[in-house]
Each structure stands twice: as C-alpha cells, then as structure tokens.
Amino acid sequence: MDITAKMVKELREATGAGMMDCKNALKESDGDMDKAGDYLRKKGIASASKKEGRATGQGIVGSYIHMGGKVGVLLEVACETDFVARTDDFQDFVHNVAMHIAAASPLAVTREEVDPSLIEKEKEIYRGQMEEQGKPAEMIDKIVEGKVDKYYSEIVLLEQKYVKDPDVTVADYLKSIIGSLGENMQIKRFSRFQIGS
C-alpha cells in the first residue's frame, strides 16, 4: 500500500510523533491509522513527542570505562524529576548510551553542534569526487547533500544506529525511554576519552 503525505500528516497531528516515525508506523501497519497509532504508543514515540519542550532540570552524569581503561565516557542526561533520575531504567539508559558512545565515537549530540567548517570540508571532498567521476553538474548538489546526510548519521549521536539494536537510532531509543518513563529527557553532552588520541 502507498503511504501518502496526507496519511502521514493525519497520524502526526493525532499522535505528535515525528514524520519519519509516522511513515514507518503506517508502513508497519499497512496504512491502518488505528494500528499505526498503537504501534507508535508501543514504541513510546507518540507520548514522547508530546513531552518535548518540558523542562529537564534533573538527571545524572554517568560514566563508562571500556577496554581495560583505554576508552572512557562521561555523559550528562537530564530528565524532569529526581525520582525518575534514580530509577534503574533511567540509569540503565545512561549507561547504555555511554557504552554506545565508547563504541561508536560520535562527535556531537545533534547536527547543530557539529562544526560547520567540518561539513564544508566534507562537501568539498564529495563535490571533488563527483566531478572526478564526471557526474552532471545538476546532479552533483543532490548527491553531495545525500552524502552529507549519511555523514551526519555516522558522527551525530542521536542519528547513529544504536549499537545494541541497529534497527533503531539513538534518538529512537531515547524516545522509547521517554515513553516508558513518562518524562521528557535530553542527552545534554558527553566527553569521550581514548588513550593515544
């Protein structure tokens, strides 16, 4: 079944979930709005989106040390209440994300935090590669944008495939925890340390 933009918009308005989440939910449920809504609720995505924007003044700083002390991560995750910050589920989430950072080496939490000069340098390299391959000028910009999106998905924490479940991104994992704990949460910042780098 074809999933139309109108269907995605309708589900988005009903649930408050993101466009890609709505599109995936509709695909999973063969275009059935009710089933798609249930799918989003099960994943915790619908309720998570409604909680965005709520203040996150509590939380914890977690740590993870890997490979005999060769790699270490400090990570700040915020939530709304101290009660949730002390739950095992919240602390497991922080630990799992710190472990993911140790393994996947992201450079930033969000795209907005990535140094623009780094992206410009990548664009130049991709553009040069496309010109070298003799691609038509009108196609180069589209190809470069696609390659930049892929690059973001490799270096931005929230866009990376979660190492323990590559079917979801870290952002999807975060939304599912927000849904299950019933509070807004934010991955604020992290530092990754590695011997010799």
Give the CATH number for residue 140.
1.10.286
Q: Tell me the average pLDDT of the chain.
A: 87
My answer on whether 27 and 104 are in the same domain is no
In this predicted structure, the answer to whether residue 9 has a pLDDT above a threshold of 90 is no
Q: Which residues contact 8 (CB under 8 A, 6 or more apart)?
A: 19, 22, 23, 26
Query: pLDDT tens digits for 105-164?
Result: 999 999 999 999 999 999 999 999 988 888 888 888 899 999 999 999 999 999 999 999
Same domain, 184 and 92: yes
- Residue 71: give its domain's CATH number: 3.30.479.20
Tell me the pLDDT tens digit for each residue of 139-152. Answer: 888 999 999 999 99
Looking at the structure, tell me whether residues 74 and 90 fall in a common domain: yes
**Residues 71 and 37 both lie in one domain:** no
% pLDDT > 90, the chain: 52
For the ranges 7-11, 65-69, 129-133, 162-166, the maximum mean pLDDT occurs at 162-166
Q: Work out the average pLDDT over 91-106.
A: 96
| 89 shares its domain with 171 | yes
Task: Please check whether residues 100 and 162 belong to one and the same domain.
Answer: yes
Residue 70 has φ and ψ, to the nearest 5°, of -85, -25
- How many CB atoms neighbour CB 26 within 10 A? 25
Task: Report phi then psi at 96, rounded to 5.
Answer: -65, -40
Answer whether residue 49 shows pLDDT above 60: no
CATH number of residue 10's parent domain:
1.10.8.10
Identify the band that residue 54 occupies on the pLDDT scale cut at 50, 70 and 90.
Answer: low
Same domain, 32 and 122: no
| Residue 165 DSSP SS3 | strand
- Please check whether residues 99 and 190 belong to one and the same domain: yes
Could you tell me the residue range of the domain that residue 132 belongs to?
115-155
What burial class does residue 81 get, using C-beta atoms within 10 Å of its C-beta: 0-12 exposed, 13-18 middle, 19+ buried? Answer: middle
Sign of the torsion angle spanned by Cα atoms 9, 11, 15, 19:
negative
Single pTM value for the model: 0.70
- Are 106 and 157 contacting, i.e. CB atoms less than 8 angstroms apart? yes
